[in-house]
Amino acid sequence: MMPSQVLIKEVGPRDGLQNESQTVPMEVKLKLIEMLEASGLSYIEATSFVHPKWIPQLSDADELLKHLPGKARYSALVPNLKGIERVEKTSLQEIAVFISASEVHNKKNLNKSVQEAMADIEQVINKSNGHYQVRAYISMVFGSPFGDIVSIDHVKQLMTALFALGVYEISLGDTTGMANPAQVDAVLSDLLKHFDKDKLAMHFHDTNGLALSNIYVSLQHGISVFDTSVGGLGGCPYAEGASGNVATEDVVYMMEQLNITTGIHMERLLATSDFISNELNFNRLSHQLRKYRGGQ
């Protein structure tokens, strides 16, 4: 049974911009977030408190959060204790933590084993001391581009551990767009025997053009929270030039066609996509932005 409404969590300002090679000035980010809120996006992952050395594109996280308009619920990625110390100086009410289901990816991305990454998450959650709602990402749920096997049992163990630590929702990530709809069907059939569908979100990348198919199958399993990125911002670090996160406007279009409520105003969202795609001189345009520009 498909849901009658979904919550779209906008991750463009974080997951999108961190994967674009250009660094966007803070005033452009603020304008982007303001336009997203005016489009009806009620949840925005605004930035990341990762060390600026690793992601210089988001090094203005502390300053940015001081200037947010405040209409949406905001989140920020917090990788470690240093991050939570920075969060404490902001008015954030929600944070996101991150782990990869792929041992190799964890090593490459965080320079930690999966076990060490989980220990860091525990530290962050303990230190946050109940002050923040915590959302968790598990990336590479549908496979790893490094060739290591990601088993569904391993994913289940991570999920159980994360829920035990108190995260309210887990976003299952297909970080490199490897998932296909038959696989999503099989994985969700299994996971939903053990976990509540209302505590899961899906985070698909459109590297291979299958994100909407994967979302459609997820809807059929009753999933109602999806991470998307306006304009499809965010590339794939493992395949230069490839598509990144699924574009918010393409997801909203599909939901509208399926008579599923999003609360998002399409024309305003397209103007937002047009704005940021122009700023980035973007050439991987979303399907809806192509139509929008063609009709201008």
Q: Which are the catalytic amino acids?
A: 236
Q: Tokens for 95, please give them.
A: 């944070």
CB 138 to a second copy: min, Å: 21
User: Which H, E and C letters describe 99-131, residue by residue?
Assistant: EECCHHHHHHHHCCCHHHHHHHHHHHHHHHCCC
Q: Calculate the CA dihedral of residues 199, 223, 241, 149 and round it to 10 degrees.
A: 70
Convert residues 258-287 into a mask of x (bound to a second copy by CB under 8 A) and - (unbound): x------------------------xx-xx
**Which of 40, 69, 166, 181 lies at the binding interface for a second copy (CB under 8 A)?**
181
Cα–Cα distances (Å) from 2 to 217, 255, 258, in that order, read 9, 11, 9
Count other C-beta atoms under 10 Å from residue 110's C-beta. 19
Q: Select 28 or 258, whichever has its Cβ closest to a second copy.
A: 258
Q: Does 227 bind a second copy (CB under 8 A)?
A: no
Q: Does 291 bind a second copy (CB under 8 A)?
A: yes
Q: Does 290 bind a second copy (CB under 8 A)?
A: yes
Between CA 188 and CA 156 the distance in angstroms is: 11
CB 258 to a second copy: min, Å: 5
Between CA 190 and CA 277 the distance in angstroms is: 38
CA 23 to chain centre: 19
Q: Select 13 or 244, whichever has its Cβ closest to a second copy.
A: 244
Convert residues 206-225 into a mask of x (bound to a second copy by CB under 8 A) and - (unbound): xxxxx-xx--xx--------
Cα–Cα distances (Å) from 292 to 10, 28, 169, 225, 231, in that order, read 20, 21, 34, 26, 12
CB 242 to a second copy: min, Å: 5
Q: Total binding residues for a second copy by CB under 8 A?
A: 34
CB 97 to a second copy: min, Å: 30
Give the footprint of a second copy on this chain (CB under 8 A): 2, 180-183, 206-210, 212-213, 216-217, 239-243, 250, 253-254, 257-258, 283-284, 286-288, 290-291, 293-295
